[in-house]
Structure 1
Amino acid sequence: MSIYPNTDETIVILKDLVSIPSPSGNTNEVITYVEEYLQKQGISGYRNKKGGLIVTLPGQDDSRHRMLTAHVDTLGAMVKEVKDSGRLKLDLIGGFKFNSIEGEYCKIHSSTGKVYTGTILLHQTSVHVYKDSDKLERNQDNMEIRIDEVVKNSEDVTKLGIEVGDFISFEPRVEITPSGFIKSRHLDDKASVAILLQLIKQINEQSVSLPYTTHILISNNEEIGYGGNSNISPETVEYLAVDMGAIGDGQATDEYTVSICVKDASGPYHLELRKRLIQIAQENGIDYKLDIYPYYGSDASAAIRSGHDIVHGLIGPGIDSSHAFERTHKTSIENTAKLLYHYVQSEMTR
């Protein structure tokens, strides 16, 4: 039996997670899923006031702590305006572009509790009517939601209970291919959440003795910049964010290895922690890549900006087409899980 967390089980959890709508600001349902999963393992946590979940695993040394985070909130939108036509304008939640959601199915979560389906479209979609539809900018003025209800004007929409501020979630369209790829929206960062949940389960089932008390934060506001900047105990020395590795031209990250970030838009990550992560990977035959993400921030960088005196790092599975139609491979999940398994049992940098 492998000492490492079971990848197939991780993927099952991942499919569950991405199927639960959780745009930043509306994450209660998915946090409840995480709570119930851990309770089945006999593990309890508590919610902070922002709605994130914190689990503490006791360690031999309780004077110095570690903290690991992954975020369960995702990109999404809100109803910006109910148009006279009965369609909806959107306001985006998180950093992405309108073109990445054109043609996507969505759900409108009304404040009354009812959920309606719709499709996100360019207003001038029909090529039989709009000659220059391909030239129009995909922006808030031109994009709208076509609701799957009989609505002919704004009053009809209001009668449904839909109003400004209602959350909008995007269909994940999750699929696992025979070749081992996982295709879905919201792999950022639900892939990492699934990895951490399996890690906690493995530590519990194997009765692994951790050298340091270790906190796991499942944060719920990362996509808007402040998910992991609080609830950091004064004993915390090392803070490791587990988030996606971004793939593109000039990047080393791929879909098969664990990505170790050396720098993002906030600046360099801690050099000694990076060196030790590399050492752990090399000693245990874990495939990794080093990379810089120029337009990126993490819960760890948010914690640094908020003034915490910590050693911070960032690792995660490589995700293609981040903040759009994302994809990774099970080997990237495996390598990330292996690095985390050995990291939480390693000695600190200081």
Structure 2
Amino acid sequence: MYSFSDPCWASINRGILICDECCSVHRSLGRHISQVRHLKHTPWPPTLLQMVETLYNNGANSIWEHSLLDPASVMSGRRKASPQDKVHPNKAEFIRAKYQMLAFVHRLPCREDDSVTAKDLSKQLHSSVRTGNLETCLRLLSLGAQANFFHPEKGNTPLHVAAKAGQTLQAELLAVYGADPGTQDSNGKTPVDYARQGGHHELAERLVEIQYELTDRLAFYLCGRKPDHKNGQHFVIPQMADSSLDLSELAKAAKKKLQSLSNHLFEELAMDVYDEVDRRETDAVWLATQNHSTLVTETTVVPFLPVNPEYSSTRNQGRQKLARFNAHEFATLVIDILSDAKRRQQGNPLTGSKGEYTFGCWLS
């Protein structure tokens, strides 16, 4: 956020607001680094927006710039990019260092067993989410705390704790970092159960929405409406306006392969299609809100999903091929994903580590 213009975008998982210039770089990083959303031209669940604004107002940016706040950093020549710097390469390099390399995040003393450190951080997160201190929890997550950590002594996850305490914004933050509302504790109860038992009914409803966020987003992309979860409707399967159009061999192959996929591979494909929906929608908002004479250049276009180094090269290649689907082909694929997701959950339940398959965990 280095422009003099007002921030129009937010990075949800970083808890910051950003201007158009910086957003052009954030979008090129990929959702695994920065999840961007326009403040006015993109629909927001109210409590998700409140979570981001709370983090921003409480100085979440200092988490990502921790070492730069040390006077010694100035003496060593390390500095933030300034509003006068060019987007490329100056601001772009700084943003990548800050959010992709985490170059300025506070580092814990090195220990031989990194898993022990992650476990300790996760236990701290488990305790912290019962309070309203969001920036503490974001700091722990930035250091490696696991949002889905199952506490061996307590027998539950941080999301169980947040739901029981009615901490809606903490629940939003945990969900952004991959916490699953369908996870059962040692008593077989989910965070949704605890929210309802505690009388936190709006939180319980929101957790159900988060649980079905992936399929809800795909349905809304095609037909502009979502299921009525309150009344037990969890899927909307849109109909194609013209199903007589011939599909390309690429689309036909994808359709044929879909139903034969294992649950794990189907989950990966659904996640990839979700990311492609997000890319296409964000691009549409981006093009509609820019000053085309000055800002929209080849350097601001994101033509396909950026590479996620945690995925295999084969999967990254498949993700990028999604950009080649035209509108009709892609809509057909989305409908096939929705139909098969419903079939797998209702007709052939999938099983996870806790014996229940949900969709909320796909957003990590």
TM-score, scaled to structure 1 = 0.24
Structure with larger RCO (C-alpha < 8 A, sep 6+): 1
Structure that is richer in strand per residue: 1
